[in-house]
Amino acid sequence: MTVIRPEATPRPTNDAVSYTLLAEDTATRARLGVLHTPHGDLPTPVFCPVGTQATVKALSPRDLREVGATMILANTYHLYLRPGAERIERLGGLHQFMGWDGPILTDSGGFQVFSLRDLRRVDDDGVTFRSHIDGSEHRFTPEKVAAIQEQLGSDIAMVLDECTVPDDYAYNVEALRRTHLWAARSLEAHRRRDQALFGIVQGGVFADLRAESARTLTALGFPGYAIGGLSVGESKEEMHAMLDVVVPLLPRDRPRYLMGVGSPEDLVEGVARGVDIFDCVLPTRLARNGALLTRDGRLNIRNAVYAEDRQPIEDGCACSTCQTFTRAYLRHLFVAKEMLGLHLGTVHNVHFMLTLMNDIRQAIKEGRYPTFREAFHQRYRVADAKARERNRQAWRRSAG
């Protein structure tokens, strides 16, 4: 059952980015909406492919449009170091630099900097760190990170936050104090009128801290709210519990963004808990590892069983890879370490995620999200714990 209320939240005219709520599922918190940005409107819930270094790995902007991408994410930490935010500004901003005229979301760099465990020092004013590229020393403050993202010119920028290990209460209390301090300073520092700055709810796996964070940030008043520090090692149950605490405390007329999430099953569950925006390197990274997504689960294309398989990756898939190439050819490309395999696999995986989001939106619209969700889980075999752990490890090792 869905309640349609197109008139519920008229588009605010004073914000660069705003949200129109179109429909809400009555059995879950799933909701359908439109996100208005300086580079166009897009339907939500939305999944953003990740273009860490101003390119979604192995895809051109044209490829992105063809697989149905509407908004992409780029990483502030990486672009600040290389080629440099001032350089991108001089070259006309990130959209022009990378040839993508759709909306772009940039993160704050906090996640990357706090992942550099041995290379950073934090204090109340900011965080000092060493570049993973050349070891040079740099400092991020809330003001600096806001200014960098203004130079990049993304549609949605994020406040600097402190990313923690999720299960250390004392550390999370201390980090949250700084995160809230920084959120207020970020809001104060942000100037660009054609860019929205979102706040980030933190608090580890602790319901009281998450609730405090949601209330504090809502009181500050952001045009959108991110939920950070999840999918970083805690269990799926813990992640879901935190969403169930946070989302009801966030304003209904603002978009909600679950950072760095996630797998197909995470998207289905995140939507059920009221999330509007997701981003994750998962589909692109899995593709480069030869793990291709289907409605039944992951398929490892290197497997010898596909050596003479004339089927597409997934029967009925409309992506250009499945329309043109067999599993046998894709397996050959991966075994022979040919770049085209990485490209074709990425096209398929990103198309898979965006088609899933499309189906999710359709199900909400038609008032059948609970049955869609159940049917998805019935069929989709999630990667086993070992595979997920391997992925998490790789995730942590990577700066992206």
What are the residues binding its own copies (CB under 8 A)?
Answer: 53-55, 57-62, 82-83, 87, 90-92, 97-99, 307-308, 310, 320, 324-326, 328-329, 332-333, 335-336, 338-340, 342-344
Q: Which of 107, 155, 161, 266 is catalytic?
A: 107
Which is nearer to its own copies, 63 or 125 (by Cβ)?
63
In angstroms, the CA 354 to CA 119 distance is: 36
Neighbours of 91 (CB within 10 A): 12
Q: How far is the CB of 356 from its own copies (least distance, A)?
A: 24
Q: How far is the CB of 136 from its own copies (least distance, A)?
A: 16
Which is nearer to its own copies, 324 or 362 (by Cβ)?
324
**Single-letter residue type at 57:** K
Neighbours of 178 (CB within 10 A): 20
Q: How far is CA 229 from CA 1, 68, 198, 333, in A?
A: 32, 28, 15, 37
Q: How far is the CB of 292 from its own copies (least distance, A)?
A: 17
Which is nearer to its own copies, 90 or 388 (by Cβ)?
90
In angstroms, the CA 159 to CA 148 distance is: 11
In angstroms, the CA 161 to CA 95 distance is: 25
Q: How far is the CB of 159 from its own copies (least distance, A)?
A: 26
Residue 342, both tokens: 């990485």
Which is nearer to its own copies, 22 or 333 (by Cβ)?
333
Residue 127, both tokens: 């965080």
Which is nearer to its own copies, 326 or 358 (by Cβ)?
326
Q: How far is the CB of 160 from its own copies (least distance, A)?
A: 23
Q: Evaluate the omega torsion of the peptide bond into residue 83 and state whether it is cis, within 30 degrees of 0.
A: yes
In angstroms, the CA 26 to CA 247 distance is: 15
Q: Which of 155, 208, 279, 359 is catalytic?
A: 279
Which is nearer to its own copies, 137 or 308 (by Cβ)?
308
Q: Establish whether 101 is a catalytic residue.
A: no
Q: Evaluate the omega torsion of the peptide bond into residue 262 and state whether it is cis, within 30 degrees of 0.
A: yes
Q: Are 292 and 301 in contact (CB under 8 A)?
A: yes
Q: Establish whether 279 is a catalytic residue.
A: yes
Residue 6, both tokens: 């197109």
Q: How far is the CB of 82 from its own copies (least distance, A)?
A: 6
In angstroms, the CA 202 to CA 11 distance is: 28
Active-site amino acid positions: 107, 279
